[in-house]
């Protein structure tokens, strides 16, 4: 009985700590929920990127960025995002390895696109 209790307690610890470790470091490739949330803010509000027109103004519902387009764009996404920031949103390009760029890419790839 004592052995069973200890084993169950061990299993419990394993599951709880396992979950926290998993939540801290989600499987490779999938960005964190925080990053996606930050990207959503940048996409939907002009203030974050200091642009005149927020991305969402043009990319609503059926105008959402298509998964098939993202596939074609591939690793070129940061350059394309900067192109739309400057040409369509009338703002200033951001650094390709900035936190803002990572967040926008995470949001576009994992939540926005259809």
80 binds ligand HEC (CB under 6 A): yes
111's tokens: 């939540």
104 binds ligand HEC (CB under 6 A): yes
- Among 58, 79, 95, 96, indicate the residue that binds ligand HEC (CB under 6 A): 58
Q: Can you tell me the distance from the alpha carbon of 48 to that of 94, in angstroms, rounded to the nearest whole number?
A: 11
For ligand HEC, the closer of residues 35 and 49 by Cβ is: 49
> What end-to-end distance do the CA atoms of the chain give, in Å?
54
8's tokens: 């169950």
105 binds ligand HEC (CB under 6 A): no
CA atoms within 13 A on the CB side of 113: 17
57 binds ligand HEC (CB under 6 A): yes
- Among 38, 89, 103, 109, indicate the residue that binds ligand HEC (CB under 6 A): 89
35's tokens: 């990053």
For ligand HEC, the closer of residues 16 and 66 by Cβ is: 66
């Amino acid at each position: 009985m004592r052995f069973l209790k200890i084993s169950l307690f061990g299993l419990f610890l394993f599951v709880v700590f396992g979950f926290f470790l998993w939540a801290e470091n989600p499987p490779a490739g999938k960005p964190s929920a925080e990053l996606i949330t930050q990207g959503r803010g940048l996409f939907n509000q002009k203030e974050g990127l200091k642009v005149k027109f927020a991305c969402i103004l043009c990319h609503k519902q059926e105008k959402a960025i298509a998964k098939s387009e993202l596939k074609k764009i591939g690793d070129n996404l940061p350059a394309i995002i900067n192109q739309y920031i400057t040409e369509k949103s009338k703002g200033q390009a951001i650094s390709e390895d900035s936190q803002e760029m990572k967040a926008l890419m995470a949001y576009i790839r994992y939540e926005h696109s259809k």
